[in-house]
């Protein structure tokens, strides 16, 4: 179980995973810019997603044994964990449907978007996931201050991502003539980023809640709510890991 591992090794693991993710992101950006192989992009996105799901969202906790009474906090947290994952699976079908819509309407073309901005917001979200992981690890080891600081950083980065997409990217795109009603590329772009931004927004609300309650020491003993907010936040990140190549990298840009 996660909290039985020692704190330092957990934090180090988080750093390593982040470095892998960063390298893979640069790699996919370069692949898209040079020989643009859809297969490679899918493979990279899959590996990135798997890394986050396993190491940041620790999906393995689902199968962990939960000894004890059905009324114990441990057991109830296990049930909550299952419930959250079921919700994420359900939610994933929305994003899957959006991807199907995007592939059906656009095929191997993509909207013409600002590549620098795309990479920037992607990086911001990945970095936020890194800090989220640190925050969660710290509260699991009773470090309230570290948890608060890291969660605050996550929140601010998440806010930055939201502003980057909704207030900067949407404006830029609209300025270039890509509007919701301009055609299939515009429809797919605004729908996908909009749906994702809505999830980011809800994630920010959860982060705000755990941060405010965490300041009052609510999670020093019972820290499942922090884990839930973190897993949800990482899930939103995984969605972007798939949406980023789907919108910015795959295929050729249409003007």
Partner 1 sequence: MKRKYTVGSGLLFLLVAGVVGYFIGLGIDALIMKNVRWTAPVPSAFSLLFAFTAFFFGVYGYRGITRGLVYQVVWTLIGGFIVTGIRAAMGLSVFGGFFFTEPAWVFGALVGAVAFLFGVGVMDDWVKWARGMDTPDHHEDEPGWEKFLGVSLDHKVIGIQYTVTALFLISVGGTFALIFRTELAASGLQFLNVGMNLFGQNGPQLYNTLMSLHGMIMIVSILLGISGIINYAVPLLVGAHDMAFPRMNAFAYWVSVPAAVLLLMSLVLGGFDTGWTGYPPLSVKAPVGQQMFFLGVFIAGWSSILGALNVIATVVRMRAKGMTAMRMPILVWASVATSIIALTATQLIGLSFQLVMFQRLFGMGFFDPAKGGNPVLFQHLFWFYSHPAVYVFVLPGLGVISELLPVFVRKPLFGYRWVAMSSLGIALVGFLVWAHHMFTSGMNEYLRVPFMYSTLLVAVPTGVKFFSWVATIWGGKIETPTPMLFVLGAIVVFLMGGLSGPPNATVSVDLHLHDTYFIVGHFHDTIFGGFVFPFFAAIYYWFPKATGRRMNEFWGKVHFWLMTPSFLILTFGMMRVGLLGMRRRIADYDPAQGFDTTHLILTIAAFAIALSVLIFLINFFHSIKHGEKAEGNVWNSRSPEWQVPSPMPAHNYETPFEVVGEPYDYGLPGSKYIEFIPAQGGKH
Q: Which is nearer to partner 1, 32 or 210 (CB)?
A: 210
Does 63 contact partner 1 by CB under 8 A?
A: no
| Sign for the pseudo-dihedral over CA of 157, 94, 243, 78 | positive
8 Å CB contact between 224 and 61: no
Number of CB atoms found within 10 A of residue 209's CB: 12
* Beta bridge mates, 109: 252
8 Å CB contact between 141 and 194: no
Per CB under 8 A, the list member of 191, 201, 224, 251 interacting with partner 1 is 191
Does 177 contact partner 1 by CB under 8 A?
A: no
- Helix H or strand E encompassing 12: helix 7-33
Work out how close the CB of 184 gets to partner 1 at its nearest, in angstroms, rounded to a whole number.
Answer: 4
Q: Which is nearer to partner 1, 22 or 176 (CB)?
A: 176
Alpha carbons 105 and 191: distance in angstroms, whole number: 13
Distance of CA 63 to the CA centre of its chain: 22
Mask 25-54, x = binds partner 1 (CB under 8 A)?
Answer: ------------------------------
Q: Which is nearer to partner 1, 71 or 116 (CB)?
A: 71
- Look up residue 108 and give its two tokens: 């191997």
Tell me which residue has tokens 């990279």.
44
- Helix H or strand E encompassing 111: strand 109-111
Q: Which is nearer to partner 1, 23 or 100 (CB)?
A: 100
| Sign for the pseudo-dihedral over CA of 152, 236, 53, 24 | negative
- Look up residue 78 and give its two tokens: 């296990």
Does 1 contact partner 1 by CB under 8 A?
A: no
Does 116 contact partner 1 by CB under 8 A?
A: no
Per CB under 8 A, the list member of 17, 44, 78, 157 interacting with partner 1 is 78
Which stretch in 12-20, 122-130, 213-221, 236-244 sits in contact with partner 1 by CB under 8 A?
Answer: 213-221
Does 64 contact partner 1 by CB under 8 A?
A: no
Does 104 contact partner 1 by CB under 8 A?
A: yes
Alpha carbons 88 and 230: distance in angstroms, whole number: 13
Q: Which is nearer to partner 1, 162 or 229 (CB)?
A: 229
* Contact residues: partner 1, CB under 8 A: 70-71, 75, 78-80, 82-83, 86-87, 89-91, 93-94, 97-98, 100-101, 104-105, 180-184, 186-188, 190-191, 209, 212-213, 216, 218
């Amino acid at each position: 179980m996660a909290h039985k591992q020692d704190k330092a090794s957990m934090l180090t693991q988080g750093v390593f995973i982040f470095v892998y993710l960063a390298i893979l992101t640069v790699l996919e950006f370069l692949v898209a810019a040079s020989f643009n192989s859809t297969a490679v992009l899918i493979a990279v996105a899959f590996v990135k997603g798997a890394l986050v799901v396993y190491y940041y969202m620790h999906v393995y906790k689902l199968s962990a044994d939960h000894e004890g009474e059905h009324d114990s906090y441990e057991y109830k947290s296990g049930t909550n964990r299952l419930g959250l994952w079921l919700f994420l699976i359900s939610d994933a079908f929305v994003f899957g449907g959006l991807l199907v819509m995007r592939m059906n309407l656009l095929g191997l073309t993509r909207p013409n978007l600002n590549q620098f901005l795309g990479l920037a917001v992607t990086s911001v979200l990945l970095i936020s996931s890194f800090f989220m992981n640190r925050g969660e690890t710290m509260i699991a080891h009773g470090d309230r201050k570290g948890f608060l600081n890291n969660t605050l950083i996550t929140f601010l980065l998440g806010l930055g991502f939201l502003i980057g997409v909704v207030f900067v990217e949407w404006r830029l795109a609209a300025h270039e003539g890509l509007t919701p009603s301009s055609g299939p590329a515009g429809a797919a772009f605004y729908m996908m980023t909009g749906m994702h931004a809505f999830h980011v927004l809800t994630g920010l609300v959860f982060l705000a809640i755990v941060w405010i309650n965490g300041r009052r020491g609510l999670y020093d003993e019972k820290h499942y709510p922090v884990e839930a907010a973190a897993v949800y936040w990482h899930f939103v990140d995984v969605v972007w890991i798939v949406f980023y190549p789907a919108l910015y990298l795959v295929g050729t840009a249409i003007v």
